Amino acid sequence: MLHAMQSKADLHVHSKYSDRPSEWFLRRIGAPESFLEPLELYQHARRRGMDFVTVADHNCIRGALEIAHLSGTFISNEVTTYFPEDGCKIHCLVTGIDEEQFEAIQEVRGNIYELRDYLQAEGVIHTITHPLFRVNERLRVDHVEKLLVMFKRFEVINGTRDARAARLVQAIFQQLTPELLEKMADRHNLEPAGPEPWIKWCTGGSDDHSGEHVAEAHTLTPYAENVEDFLVHLRHGDHEPAGRSGSSVMLGHCLYHIAYSYYKDRFLRDSGGQPNLIGELFKKLLENTQENASPTLGQRLLDFATGFV
């Protein structure tokens, strides 16, 4: 049980620099993952009670560096890595890194085994995010077993993934024993992650891309007076997930918000900054809130997105 006084941070949240979406819906319409400015993200997180703030964009730290001069911030990155034997894609969050470590991580991230070895050797705080989510549809039971052997810290509460996934991950952790972990390590010829590898550490993060749900899922530690203390708690596993998991409706809402921002950015103004005809038509479709009106394009986008999540 953690101390009565606690500190909070949303460890998994994105800014406009996450510009290569993994969601097929956003790829289909050609939109980036986010339009959220790093400063807006910082302000949202602070207003919602976060003591410390980070930006964890995909394979990029530009957003984190933009707010690095503000109090209570640290640099993070959601790393895309792969099982080299079959290309299965995994997302691994690295927390409290510096620019030199970021560059080194980029060099090894193509191979999850090399990445894990580097992170362990450097003492980098790292977390497997949404461990049961098929980022590129290749995740199988063997991959999950390898992750359980290789990694100590996992994201359990994810603000855009269904709560059932969180419960399933927790159930898996509860069933782990030294004997079971050893069998999996032998089966895959892998070195387990540190002492007591059958005991997993859990985090929470909103995984928000829209700015609408920043900090609704987050991670708690004992009270930390500053960033350095907070990172020490994380490094020692003295933390727990908090907040709420997401749902298909919440994810659909995020996708709608990003799609709206995309169309607003691309179509609502011409090159001279003046409203144009196409822009006005999209505005009517996207912002129509009249009572008893037929569904707007925004509503149809939301229905379309949630139907496939």
DSSP string, 157-171: EETTSBHHHHHHHHH
Q: For the chain, list the domains and their CATH numbers.
A: 6-247 (3.20.20.140), 251-306 (no CATH)
Retrieve residue 220's tokens: 């708690």
Say what the pLDDT of residue 250 is. 56
Q: Is the pLDDT of residue 81 over 60?
A: yes
Does position 51 have pLDDT exceeding 70, yes or no? yes
The string of pLDDT tens digits covering residues 185-223 is 999 999 998 899 999 999 999 999 888 899 999 999 999
Q: What's the confidence (pLDDT) of residue 176?
A: 94
pLDDT at residue 210, as a whole number? 81
- Model confidence at 240: pLDDT above 60: yes
Tell me the pLDDT tens digit for each residue of 250-303.
Answer: 555 555 554 555 445 554 454 555 555 544 544 554 455 444 444 444 444 444
- Distant-in-sequence, close-in-space partners of 97: CB < 8 Å, separation ≥ 6: 61, 75, 76, 77, 105, 124
**What digits encode the pLDDT tens for the residues 2-12?**
545 899 999 99
The tokens of 180 are what? 């079971």
How far apart, in whole angstroms, are the C-alpha atoms of residue 128 and residue 95?
11
Task: Using the predicted structure, report yes or no on whether residue 308 has a pLDDT greater than 50.
Answer: no
Q: Are the CB atoms for 82 and 110 separated by under 8 Å?
A: yes
- Over residues 220-234, the mean pLDDT reads 98
Q: What's the 3-state SS for 42-99? A: HHHHHHCCCCEEEECCECCCHHHHHCCCCCCEEEEEEEEEEECCCCEEEEEEEECCCH
pLDDT, tens digit (0-9, with 9 covering 90-100), for 53-77 = 999 999 999 999 999 999 999 999 9
Position 245 scores a pLDDT of 75
Question: Residue 237 carries which DSSP code?
Answer: T
Lowest mean pLDDT among 39-43, 65-69, 82-86, 295-299: 295-299
The answer to whether the CB of 256 falls within 8 A of the CB of 264 is: no
